[in-house]
Structure 1
Amino acid sequence: MSVPADASTEGLFFSSLNPLAPITIVLLHALMGSHLEWAHCWPKLSEYHLLIPDLPQHSRSRHVGPFSYLLSADLIAKIIRDHAHDGRAHVVGVSAGGYVALELVRRHPDTVLSAFVSGAAPLEDFWKSFNSQPKIAQIGLSVILHSPRSVMTKATGWAPELRNDELVKEMKRNNTARLYETGCREAQNWTRENLEEVGRRDKRIALVASRHEKVEHIQEMARVLGALGSDQGQKTRAFLVKDAIQAWNLQNPQLFARGIRAWAEKMPMPMDYEPLEGEAGANPRREVPSRGQSNRGPSSSK
């Protein structure tokens, strides 16, 4: 299937890479990000056809909106049907992109082969309180984005050598009060009922927790999804990457990509992905370290 390197479907921009590869993976960025968020991941997934959109109201999809998980899922479903091989794809999402991936499973399960989601658990009370003051949080993000490089790197947790100035420029442009408030509201309104609907779609989903998330919440998500599944959904698994930040595709893209590949291929997960006990049917395999490979945290894998 031949797809232009950069294209748009009904106004939603996306980049298409490696179109001759037989399996399609969709990569969905975090709130305020852009497709450039994946620039250090996509070279490590060169054996896959990659579709990497800018979500509504973000960067080159800025004219599409208003941003919502529902609109995002509907537009991405169209991209998958029109451009993915066999009209289906493995879907990967971080933070807001993770919620959109789950919404895609809920609304358009026919387009999803599997999902790999990080940073998209239903919000606990602390984060609901934090999100109830989006203007303050948005101003804080603006201060970080306009800080000197060393300050910004320390505040975000991004690997210094992976800083992408074009991405930072796009994030500054995307960081509006309107979009931030909308994103916070969308996260607050995504409920357990939504999660249960996702479970009934019976899709295999990897839930990957960062150090900022409560393990119990990710375990409960996996339990709900696994219990409601009848086949593939029962293979849903939860993992913890201990040193990972929220948008850890910008912290350790190599480890992130290894997890994507393992999940898509139904192979053992990398050693840094610690299985969370207690989820339904949990007995995940993990890759055995080769000689000289240690079980290191994400900041040590380059």
Structure 2
Amino acid sequence: MSTITGASPQSSFITQAPTPDTIFYVSLDPQPPNPTAPTLILLHGLLSSHLEWSLIIPHLRPHCHLLLVDLPGHSRSSSLPPPYTTSSMADQVASVIQSHARNGKAHIVGMSMGGFVTLHLARRYPSLCLSAFISGATPFEGVTKWLAKNNWILFHGFRLSNMIITDWMYDWLCRMIGMKEHRELRQEILRNVKWELIRDVYGSIVDEEDGFSMEGMAEINQVRCLSVAGERQDQIEVTRRVGQVWKEKGLTGRLGSRAFVVRGAVHAWDLQFPEVFAGGIRSWAEGVDLPNEFEVLE
């Protein structure tokens, strides 16, 4: 079994054995125990796994019940059949929340692809969502949208980079942009590069009916949402427009939905600034002021 930072033999650490038709999850109770602590469910990015959150867990576990999943098609949920669209993933995550979150509700945290899954949950299953924290998941535009529609280019790009970039080169590149070491997660990412995943995930994000346009962001009108961009790699102006749409539709005033940027952050900044990332999650879930590193976009 993979190591989860912050879990010990004495702690409440529950995993569901993967089956061909069941999503894999890890359940971590608060330490020290707190029966009133809310549930946070953490949804990883494309090709990643629940190990993406290993650096975040120690900062959240004293305050929350945590549910970590391997989304369909990834790692211990790789036996689940396609399609691997972000909307179908949301359906399966909704079942996990209903069955395993405290009171059948959770604060949802989504990174990148997991952010799009979170958007679907907030739009289609608002009664399950206490709040939504989304990073690096805004409507695709320009070159990003073109690449998503021509996802075969991305698939071969992933495969080529995996053949060329050795482990030591990858570690060096991560150090250059300030990302923490994540060798075990790196091996999961290498194993998760599959055509069906790339095709379905990117295709669903730009799908005209099932994806998210700027207008679609306004449909998330029952759940308090934070959309955050990493300054160095995410779409800051698109994220700003998301915040403006929420404000124009009255969702900022009624729910508190807003958009932010974290300066100096890369796309996967949960692996770069885990303490700040976790601090933002906790503050958003508790409804208090975000850490100073979060700069509002208006």
Return the TM-score normalized by structure 2. Answer: 0.84
The answer to whether structure 1 residue 239 and structure 2 residue 257 are counterparts is no
1:7 maps to amino acid: Q
Shift of the 127–157 alpha-carbon distance from structure 1 to 2, 3 Å rule, reads farther
* Match of residue 141 from structure 1: 158
Aligned residues: 274
Secondary structure (helix, strand or coil) at the match of 2:16 reads: strand
2:14 maps to amino acid: A
Q: What is the aligned counterpart of 1:268 among 280, 285, 289?
A: 289
The answer to whether structure 1 residue 100 and structure 2 residue 117 are counterparts is yes
User: Is the Cα contact below 8 Å between 2:39 and 2:66 reproduced in 1?
Assistant: yes
Secondary structure (helix, strand or coil) at the match of 1:80 reads: helix
2:218 maps to amino acid: E
2:99 maps to amino acid: D
Shift of the 56–184 alpha-carbon distance from structure 1 to 2, 3 Å rule, reads same
* Match of residue 215 from structure 1: 236
CA distance in 2, matches of 1:224, 1:64: 36
CA distance in 1, matches of 2:206, 2:54: 29
Task: After TM superposition, list the pairs within 5 Å mapping 1:241-260 onto structure 2.
Answer: 241-260=262-281
Secondary structure (helix, strand or coil) at the match of 1:240 reads: strand
Shift of the 187–65 alpha-carbon distance from structure 1 to 2, 3 Å rule, reads same
Deviates further, 136-145 or 243-252: 136-145
* Match of residue 197 from structure 1: 219
Deviation at 1:158, TM superposition (A): 8.0
2:59 maps to amino acid: K
CA distance in 2, matches of 1:227, 1:55: 33
CA distance in 1, matches of 2:15, 2:187: 20
Shift of the 233–151 alpha-carbon distance from structure 1 to 2, 3 Å rule, reads farther
Deviation at 1:100, TM superposition (A): 0.2
Task: After TM superposition, list the pairs within 5 Å mapping 1:105-144 onto structure 2.
Answer: 105-144=122-161
The answer to whether structure 1 residue 81 and structure 2 residue 92 are counterparts is no
User: Is the Cα contact below 8 Å between 2:47 and 2:192 reproduced in 1?
Assistant: yes
User: Is the Cα contact below 8 Å between 1:159 and 1:250 reproduced in 2?
Assistant: no
Secondary structure (helix, strand or coil) at the match of 1:162 reads: coil
User: Is the Cα contact below 8 Å between 1:115 and 1:203 reproduced in 2?
Assistant: yes
Secondary structure (helix, strand or coil) at the match of 1:168 reads: helix
Note the alpha carbon deviations across 1:18-77, whole angstroms, 9 max, x for none: 165421001000010000111111111112100010111111111113111121111111
CA RMSD after TM alignment? 2.4
The answer to whether structure 1 residue 23 and structure 2 residue 41 are counterparts is no
Deviates further, 112-121 or 57-66: 57-66
Return the TM-score normalized by structure 1. Answer: 0.83
Deviation at 1:245, TM superposition (A): 1.3
The answer to whether structure 1 residue 36 and structure 2 residue 45 are counterparts is no
Secondary structure (helix, strand or coil) at the match of 2:206 reads: helix
CA distance in 1, matches of 2:128, 2:227: 19
User: Is the Cα contact below 8 Å between 1:94 and 1:119 reproduced in 2?
Assistant: yes
The answer to whether structure 1 residue 188 and structure 2 residue 206 are counterparts is yes
Secondary structure (helix, strand or coil) at the match of 1:5 reads: strand
Note the alpha carbon deviations across 1:259-287, whole angstroms, 9 max, x for none: 1011111111111111112xxxxxxxxxx
CA distance in 1, matches of 2:206, 2:175: 25
CA distance in 1, matches of 2:106, 2:179: 31
Note the alpha carbon deviations across 1:75-98, whole angstroms, 9 max, x for none: 111111111111111100011000
User: Is the Cα contact below 8 Å between 2:147 and 2:153 reproduced in 1?
Assistant: no
CA distance in 2, matches of 1:160, 1:209: 17
